[in-house]
Amino acid sequence: MTSINTNNAAMAALQTLRGINQGLQTTQAHVSSGYRVGKASDNAAYWSIATTMRSDNKALSAVSDALGLGAAKVDTAYSAMDSAIDVVGDIKAKLVAATENGVDKAKVQEEVSQLQQQLLSIAQSASFSGENWVAGASGTKNVVASFVRDGSNAVSVVMTDYVLDDSTTGNVLFGMSGGAVETSTGILGTSSGSTGSIYSMDITNFTLGEIQSALTNVETALKAMTSAGAALGSISKRIELQENFVSALSDSIDSGVGRLVDADMEEESSKLSALQTQQQLAVQSLSIANSSSQTILTLFRG
């Protein structure tokens, strides 16, 4: 039965066209944004996971920056300690030279005094971002190590500690008091026996026995400084490893999120072409359905 009031064919064609247009709109959104899950209504579960992991990745980016800052602090301290070891080694050589008969100890002391001032300069200069790890009072310094989400979904930031010790056998060249370097504490500032500290000793009137004692003190200081340098080197290596891990982890998270929400552009391109063709056919079908009622007019022509 053909009716001029109800065109079932046209309604069916229109419904088909609406479905095709909706699919075309969705596919075009995927192509333009690059995401197949761009909002929660697309896929609530995947959107929720992707949003959480993107948030974690931002935290990892901040951790990476903090690791870079920590690495700079540790590298500054290590460079200072390494330089100080060289200078103390030079002082050791001067003391050995002073044991020779006929050597003018006053002249040797002039050179030692310059080296002592250089040690103070190194300690004062080894500051990065307001922190000095080779001149400071006993206490704890720390740097960011990592960002962790545990099995219970709780998040935390893990720190690496470096405990400063301003004793003779500690790990700082000098102590710190009131924001200023304290030259009577630390590996180089603490007095030991009658020869005084590495920083304050004056060998001008030293006897051979006192020079030998001073050499012993220098050797003890070198041992402590070498140990401190090794500890700083270990922390630096750990930070380097953590930086590499954070970088790889961030890439893995990006890749994982992409697998959940990114659009397959080859697939979307094929869909887009197919839907555009279907749209053209649906429009033509609707046009045919709408024109069918015009044939009824021929029935009433005489």
Q: Determine whether 287 is exposed, middle or buried from the number of CB atoms within 10 Å of its CB (0-12, 13-18, 19+).
A: exposed
70-120 residue pLDDT tens: 999 999 999 999 999 999 999 999 999 999 888 999 999 999 999 999 999
Mark whether 126 and 270 lie in a shared domain.
no
200-220 residue pLDDT tens: 999 999 999 999 999 999 999
pLDDT surpasses 80 at 248: yes
Report the pLDDT value the prediction gives residue 171, as an integer from 0 to 100: 93
Mark whether 97 and 204 lie in a shared domain.
yes
Mark whether 144 and 271 lie in a shared domain.
no
* Residue 40, in any domain of the structure: no
pLDDT surpasses 60 at 302: no
| pTM for the model | 0.76
Report the pLDDT value the prediction gives residue 114, as an integer from 0 to 100: 97
Mark whether 206 and 282 lie in a shared domain.
no
Mark whether 277 and 199 lie in a shared domain.
no
Strand, helix or coil at 75? helix
51-62 residue pLDDT tens: 988 888 888 888
What is the pLDDT averaged over residues 241-246?
Answer: 88
Cβ–Cβ < 8 Å for 54, 254: no
Q: Which residue would you say has higher pLDDT here, 63 or 106?
A: 106
* Residue 43, in any domain of the structure: no
Report the pLDDT value the prediction gives residue 295, as an integer from 0 to 100: 72
Sign of CA dihedral 35, 36, 42, 48: negative
CA gap 31, 20 in Å, rounded: 16
Mark whether 119 and 233 lie in a shared domain.
yes
Cβ–Cβ < 8 Å for 170, 187: yes
What is the pLDDT averaged over residues 7-19?
Answer: 81
Mark whether 83 and 105 lie in a shared domain.
yes
Report the pLDDT value the prediction gives residue 174, as an integer from 0 to 100: 95
282-300 residue pLDDT tens: 788 778 777 766 776 776 6
Report the pLDDT value the prediction gives residue 4, as an integer from 0 to 100: 64
Residue 172, CA distances (Å) to 85, 140, 165, 246, 297 in order:
12, 12, 6, 30, 105
Mark whether 171 and 220 lie in a shared domain.
yes
What domain count does the chain have? 2
110-169 residue pLDDT tens: 999 999 999 999 999 999 988 999 998 888 998 887 778 777 777 788 888 999 999 989
Mark whether 95 and 128 lie in a shared domain.
yes
Q: Which domain holds residue 25?
A: 10-34+263-300
Report the pLDDT value the prediction gives residue 8, as an integer from 0 to 100: 76
Mark whether 253 and 267 lie in a shared domain.
no
* Residue 281, in any domain of the structure: yes
Mark whether 292 and 145 lie in a shared domain.
no
Report the pLDDT value the prediction gives residue 156, as an integer from 0 to 100: 82
Q: 3: pLDDT confidence band, cut at 50, 70 and 90?
A: low
Lowest mean pLDDT among 125-134, 175-184, 264-273: 264-273
Sign of CA dihedral 239, 243, 248, 254: positive
Mark whether 230 and 240 lie in a shared domain.
yes
Q: 233: pLDDT confidence band, cut at 50, 70 and 90?
A: very high
